[in-house]
């Protein structure tokens, strides 16, 4: 066993040395490139950040697979720069593809490879923590971790990131909740890809049960999102955004990512399974409609769910580190566990908040993303996203909870729930649009609470976001008050 460990350490050391050597070769080659000099210099900046990270990695076999992938990408980057040293070679190498596109793709792949390396390192550190708990005299202490910090203007479209090596002397700070790497065969054994829970823009979600001990629990039920391969760059963007952002979040009302798979061309994310489906399922009785569920039949439960989600969004905006804008808040991205506790999910479009941009109308993003019917019209028109954009989307969810109606009634913009319901709210005729499933005749106290909920929604849905929509802290306070009123009935 000792020899095997030594062999693994030597192999990882060799991979690290190979990567450091490739970085040096790329930087040297850039100095003599005659074609595409600007793109080559940008590539040199990207790879130079990798160098400091590599020397601090632990010599553990878990680092080997992502290091091999990174080395393959660096080798391709080196070939690209070498081809740029004369005109004939560059034309032959790039063929009919645009040079700038090729450089963008390899830059994004380097960023993706570092994200995967970061996840592997977190998994290694969690394993070291368990070993230290089980064997207190265990001396293997990780020395560093890679923090992914956003540059101003960071978005899943631009994928601009800064790699920072952070000293980590105390292993006790590592939680047992850290996600871990899983192989394709482990995921296939868990799911057989047989029971599909749903599908979205980025891929399909399957139900599974892990066939090995995971976080001290054997047979953990999971939901596995398999990202679609037909849009390679979009798949990488979604994988990087969701894995990088979610792995750093800890909140009772945010879904947990348990693991991931980045084997060959596959990109998968593994979450805790939510046994009661989505909030949307219960509001609109989809898939055979759980008509007797507490969400369907109880105003108290609906407001409880809204309050939990509001707390999660408030945490993203003011409590997470770094701060996050979700960009796709919808009833379909609110999951309910076996105890009916809501968990916010769907982080594939999320972005880190760039410092200081909230005061300037939000941060500019390349693409407007989200679910039709929930998207903030101001964000849609300006391509500037802010925390107010999440507030608007949440306001639509609140109207959906009050009325039981879908956000986009006729499938066209003329049928938006906001346009059909807000006039009744503003005119004091909320009862005309209330869903009848929880109670055909709400009590006076219930109506008082629901009036407060509807008022909160209307303040979330102001056409102009900056300084006019409620902050999520105020939304939380209002919903908490409404829940107290209902419970005092």
Minimal CA–CA distance to 419: which of 358, 377, 370, 480? 377
Q: ω before 141 within 30° of 0 (cis)?
A: no
Copy the structure tokens of residue 171.
Answer: 């292993």
Copy the structure tokens of residue 50.
Answer: 């990798």
Tens-digit pLDDT profile for residues 111-134: 778 777 777 776 676 566 555 544
In the chain, the N- to C-terminal Cα span, in Å, equals 67
Tell me, what's the pLDDT at 318? 93
Tell me, what's the pLDDT at 215? 52
Q: Does 225 belong to an annotated binding site?
A: yes
- Give, in degrees to the nearest 5, the angle at Cα 330 between 486 and 226: 130
Task: Assign 218 a pLDDT band (cuts: 50, 70, 90).
Answer: low
Task: Assign 483 a pLDDT band (cuts: 50, 70, 90).
Answer: very high
Tens-digit pLDDT profile for residues 43-80: 888 787 777 677 678 888 878 888 888 888 888 888 88
Arithmetic mean of pLDDT over the chain? 79
Minimal CA–CA distance to 326: which of 388, 277, 378? 388
CA distances from residue 118 to 19, 57, 159, 416 in whole angstroms, order as listed: 16, 10, 15, 42
Copy the structure tokens of residue 457.
Answer: 């929604």
**Helices 64-83 & 2-31 angle (0-180, nearest 10):** 20
Gap between the Cα atoms of 426 and 419, Å rounded? 12
Task: Assign 391 a pLDDT band (cuts: 50, 70, 90).
Answer: very high
Gap between the Cα atoms of 333 and 347, Å rounded? 9
Would you say residue 157 has pLDDT above 60? Answer: no
Tens-digit pLDDT profile for residues 344-363: 998 888 988 887 777 777 88
Contacts of 435 (CB under 8 A, 6+ apart): 283, 402, 403, 404, 405
Tell me, what's the pLDDT at 287? 55
Tell me, what's the pLDDT at 146? 40
Minimal CA–CA distance to 442: which of 395, 486, 397? 486
Residue appearing with tokens 């750093």 = 248
HSE on the CB side for 26, CA within 13 Å? 30
Domain annotation for the chain: domains and CATH numbers: 2-173 (no CATH), 180-272 (3.30.200.20), 279-487 (1.10.510.10)
Contacts of 384 (CB under 8 A, 6+ apart): 361, 362, 363, 364, 365, 378
Tell me, what's the pLDDT at 172? 29
The per-residue DSSP string of 327-351 comes to S---GGGEEE-TT--EEE--GGG-E
pTM score, whole prediction:
0.71
Would you say residue 288 has pLDDT above 70? Answer: no
**Strand, helix or coil at 46?**
helix
Tell me, what's the pLDDT at 70? 87
Tens-digit pLDDT profile for residues 295-341: 999 999 999 999 999 999 999 999 998 899 999 999 999 999 999 99
**Helices 417-426 & 444-460 angle (0-180, nearest 10):** 120
Minimal CA–CA distance to 366: which of 155, 76, 93, 50? 155
- Mean pLDDT across the stretch 19-24? 87
Alpha helix segments (H runs only) across 32-98: 37-54, 64-83, 87-94
Tell me, what's the pLDDT at 216? 42
Tens-digit pLDDT profile for residues 416-462: 889 889 999 999 999 999 999 998 889 999 999 999 999 999 999 99
Tell me, what's the pLDDT at 323? 92
């Amino acid at each position: 066993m000792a020899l095997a460990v030594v062999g693994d350490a030597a192999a990882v050391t060799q991979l690290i040395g190979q990567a450091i050597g490739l970085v040096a070769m790329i930087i040297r080659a850039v100095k003599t490139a005659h074609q595409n000099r600007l793109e080559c210099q940008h590539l040199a900046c990207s790879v130079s950040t990798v160098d400091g990270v590599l020397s601090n990695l632990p010599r553990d076999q878990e680092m080997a697979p992502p290091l091999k992938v990174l080395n393959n990408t660096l080798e391709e980057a080196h070939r690209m720069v070498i081809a740029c040293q004369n005109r004939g070679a560059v034309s032959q190498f790039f063929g009919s593809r645009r040079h700038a596109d090729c450089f963008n793709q390899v830059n994004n792949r380097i960023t993706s490879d570092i994200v995967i390396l970061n996840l592997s390192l977190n998994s290694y550190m969690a394993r070291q923590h368990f070993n230290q708990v089980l064997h207190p005299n265990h001396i293997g202490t990780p020395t560093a971790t890679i923090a992914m910090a956003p540059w101003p203007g960071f978005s899943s479209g631009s994928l601009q990131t800064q790699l920072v090596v952070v000293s980590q002397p105390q292993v006790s700070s590592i939680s047992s909740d850290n996600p871990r790497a899983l192989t394709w065969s482990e995921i296939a054994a868990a799911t057989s890809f047989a029971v599909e829970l749903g599908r979205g823009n980025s891929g399909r979600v399957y139900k599974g049960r892990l066939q090995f001990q995971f976080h001290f629990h054997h047979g953990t039920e999971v939901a596995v999102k398999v990202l679609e391969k037909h849009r390679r760059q979009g798949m990488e963007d979604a994988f990087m955004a969701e894995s990088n952002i979610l792995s750093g979040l800890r909140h009772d009302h945010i879904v947990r990512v348990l693991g991931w798979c980045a084997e060959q061309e596959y990109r998968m994310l593994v979450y805790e399974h939510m046994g009661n489906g989505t909030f949307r399922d219960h509001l609109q009785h989809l898939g055979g409609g759980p008509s007797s569920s507490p969400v369907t039949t109880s105003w108290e439960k609906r407001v409880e769910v809204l309050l939990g989600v509001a707390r999660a969004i408030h945490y993203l905006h003011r409590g997470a580190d770094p701060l996050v804008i979700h960009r796709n808040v919808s009833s379909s991205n609110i999951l309910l566990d076996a105890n009916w506790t809501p968990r916010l999910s769907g982080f594939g479009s999320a972005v880190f908040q760039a410092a200081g941009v909230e005061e300037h109308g939000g941060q500019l993003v390349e693409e407007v993303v989200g679910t039709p019917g929930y998207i903030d019209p101001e964000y849609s028109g300006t391509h500037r996203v802010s925390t107010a954009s999440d507030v608007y989307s949440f306001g639509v969810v609140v109207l959906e909870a009050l009325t039981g109606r879908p956000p986009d009634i006729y499938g066209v913009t003329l049928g938006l729930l906001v346009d059909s319901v807000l006039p009744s709210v503003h005119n004091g005729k909320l009862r005309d649009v209330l869903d009848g499933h929880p109670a055909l005749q709400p009590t006076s106290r219930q109506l008082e609470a629901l009036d407060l909920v509807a008022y909160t929604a209307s303040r979330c849905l102001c056409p102009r976001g900056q300084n006019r929509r409620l902050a999520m802290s105020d939304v939380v306070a209002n919903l908490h008050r409404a829940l107290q009123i209902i419970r005092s009935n």
